[in-house]
Every structure is written in structure tokens, then in C-alpha cells.
Chain A
Amino acid sequence: QQPVQSPQAVILREGEDAVINCSSSKALYSVHWYRQKHGEAPVFLMILLKGGEQKGHDKISASFNEKKQQSSLYLTASQLSYSGTYFCGTEYSNDMRFGAGTRLTVKP
């Protein structure tokens, strides 16, 4: 079963912050985050392998709450280049399921 993402879409002004959530009805062993720009392939952002883990690079970070079976992606001080569709993925034993995606639009 694929994870559930929310919101489905977000529109921001440059410099604003956003949070994208990912939850699963099944136990989560790892959570992946990817970004896909229009007409391109999804690109890896980060992976969280255990509960309580938090990661980040640049102004994008993520947390993983194993108990609540959810992960969140935080985008701070958004830039135009952040626009795209964000997918979370949950993997177990060579079986990776993606959420339906969150379309993020950053406007000047």
C-alpha cells in the first residue's frame, strides 16, 4: 500500500516556508523523498532510515517519526527552483511505494 501525502498542492511566494507530510498505515522502515520537475525524472533528495532521524541539506530537511508512521519534509525560505512535485516513498524488501505527490509552486 502506498503512503498518503498531504497537501496535494501548495502555492508559495519566494521566501515562504512549506511542510509536506507523508503517512502510512503500515510500519515504516525507511522513508525516501524525491522531487520531480516537469518533463524530468524524479531526483533523490534524502532518505531516513530510522525513527527519530532528521536530515537536511541546504534549506530542505526532513524528519521521521517511526511511532506515528509518518515523515515530514520541510522547505524553508523557498526558492523558485524548489517548484516541482514532491514524492515520499516507503521501501520494504525491494518494494518501493510512492505517495501520490505534492505539487509545489513557488512564485516570485
Chain B
Amino acid sequence: DTAVSQTPKYLVTQMGNDKSIKCEQNLGHDTMYWYKQDSKKFLKIMFSYNNKELIINETVPNRFSPKSPDKAHLNLHINSLELGDSAVYFCASSPRDRAFTFGSGTRLTVV
């Protein structure tokens, strides 16, 4: 039973396209996150949601739009993809003040 599952695992797409990444957790956690990890391994927070409510929106371009239909799901839609969007995107969830559980990541390559 996967705790935090992300799909797809790999995504190769052309510049200008729109794509979505899905994330689901079955841990009953209240908070979910999106992180971007660049080629230098830096984990940068993008968004956090608590019980479907947006908490953190960290100076991310408007082309990125998160959607949380319920507290078990946090999807990420990206419009007009650019070369600089290439990275690994991790979804994570946690209860308050407790360990984060990460999804396996989505490697996005924009060509």
C-alpha cells in the first residue's frame, strides 16, 4: 500500500505544453506539499495545503496551479511549460509537527 503516490513518474514534453501531476495520500494527513528539486538537489517549497486550504504559495509563477479537491489529493497543473521547469517534483504529506512522507517524485523534462 503506497502511502503517497504520484503520477506520472516521468514526464517528457515540449515547451509551451500544459501538463498535470497527480498526488494522493492514504495516511490521513492534514497537510500536503509540493516541492521542486533542481539539478543541484535543492528542495524548494512551492505550495502547502492544509485540509484543502492553501497555506503557502512560495513565489511560484502563475503558470503553476495547485488543486486540492479533498485532503487526500493535491494535484499540480502547469501551463505553458518552459525549459527551466525541468526538475523533479515531489509531493509530500505530514500531520502537524511530525515526519514528512514523500511521494516517489515526478521527473519532468521540457524539451
Contact = CB atoms under 8 A, between A and B. Distances in A.
Interface of A: 30, 32, 34, 36, 40-44, 47, 49, 85, 87, 89, 91, 93-98, 100-101, 103
Interface of B: 31, 33, 35, 40-43, 45, 48, 50, 55-56, 90, 94, 96-105
A92 B19 CA distance: 31
Contact of B104 (A30, A32, A41, A87): A41
B105 to A, nearest CB: 6
Contact of A41 (B42, B90, B97): B90
10 contacts: A32-B100, A34-B100, A44-B100, A47-B97, A47-B99, A89-B100, A94-B55, A97-B45, A100-B41, A100-B42
A40 B50 CA distance: 25
Contacts of B90: 41-42
Contacts of A49: 97
